[in-house]
Amino acid sequence: MSSLEEPLGLDKLPSMSTIDRIQRFSSGACRPRVDNLGMGNCWIEGRSCSTSNRCNEDDEEYTAETFPWKRQTRDLSQDDSFCQKTLTKGRKSMKFGMIDDSFSDCQNSPKCNTKDLQDLAYKFLNGIPRFVKIVEVGPRDGLQNEKNTVPAAVKIELIHRLASTGLSVIEATSFVSPKWVPQLADAKDVMQAVHNLRGIRLPVLTPNLKGFEAAIAAGAREVAVFASASESFSKSNINCSIEESLVRFRAVTRAAKQLSIPVRGYVSCVAGCPVEGPIPPSKVAYVARELYDMGCFEISLGDTIGVGTPGTVVPMLLAVMAVVPIEKLAVHFHDTYGQSLPNILVSLQMGISTVDSSVAGLGGCPYAKGASGNVATEDVVYMLNGLGVKTNVDLSKLMLAGDFISNHLGRPSTSKTAIALNRVTSDASKISY
């Protein structure tokens, strides 16, 4: 472990409660200035910032530059190692996959000043939304693949705990055949117990008209349909082709429109399929546009098996953004290869402002072999807090909800944020003063 990777020594830890420690990373933190891009004063000590989350209101606005997608390759013709090149050339700033050499040029120029560095920082941060809506999918997508049955009472308690965190959208359950997803056989009981939660949207998945009717009878006031960009996955997941699924969903959206019920659309396998491999962005764009045209108010783009990277997510988003308004799009990443947060960050830079996530990193798909859990909501909130992006979510309460369901499942949370903050607090409590 290098010195840059060493954890903070216990002798340097102040005495504070878990809540205090989390509040240091709360959404009240401002966007980091160039002189504090690391874990410096802006995050640890905090600053007196305005509600706009900017450290200096006098700084002029910068318009984000849009660069065409361009694949870059490293020049390996020199004898120096990549590490040495990084040290000598300085860090590169990147926007939508295009490498910008202005940082290293500025770094090596005697004319470079703080204002130039601020320009570079805002070029990176300006495209990120001030507020991000988080759609919590733990109670449905997170629990649908559990081997052992989770009692309805536990699911109901989890939803209540999540509602107390400030989350405004919680995907409650799915009205699918118990034959295919037995873990959600209690959908009616769960929905009837939580549908009166005030100020909370509780969408439920409805794969067909029969599921839609059952959901409405149980008290659902928002539903979702889910198509796939992969023909093979569509057949294995919902037993029909992509076109056949779209016919089913048009029937659902027509029925929903008559009752003024909003419909959210999901597109799965947007980066890759366990059978077909990489999925062309044009296929994702086609399905997304079909869902949008049939009346879905929002389209969530899901990397079901977690194979996406910023290099594949960017062209996929560009293709979809060409046919669906960006404000109608959301992203949904699984963390199989640890790429969820980088993928979310690049999505935010492109203007996406809605992110799906699952408390404690719960999740997986019964029809996608190798798919791991969703990105943990705790990790998403922690990152957004660090960027000065508001979510209205209380991280401390969110961690408690994650602890609750993890304890019931008999395994630790997969949220790196929850693990780290709990460990730091535990270590600090052992220190005598």
| Whole-number Å distance between alpha carbons of 84 and 106 | 19
Q: Which two tokens stand for residue 376?
A: 């943990």
Outline where 294-412 has alpha helix (H).
Answer: 310-321, 340-349, 377-386, 395-409
Outline where 17-70 has alpha helix (H).
Answer: 18-23, 41-44
Outline where 64-183 has alpha helix (H).
Answer: 82-89, 102-107, 114-125, 152-163
30 is catalytic: no
42, 55, 273, 365: which one is catalytic? 365
Q: Which two tokens stand for residue 250?
A: 């048009």
| Whole-number Å distance between alpha carbons of 147 and 353 | 33
The one-character DSSP state at 329 is E
The one-character DSSP state at 150 is P
Tokens 């509602």 correspond to 163
The residue among 408, 351, 417 whose CA lies nearest residue 381 is 417
Given its phi and psi angles, is residue 142 left (phi above 0), alpha (psi -120 to 50 degrees) or beta? alpha
CA distances from 51 to 31, 242, 243, 395 (A): 11, 45, 47, 19
Q: Which two tokens stand for residue 428?
A: 């600090």
| Whole-number Å distance between alpha carbons of 289 and 41 | 44
HSE-up of residue 125 (Cα within 13 Å, Cβ side)? 22
Q: Which residues are catalytic?
A: 365
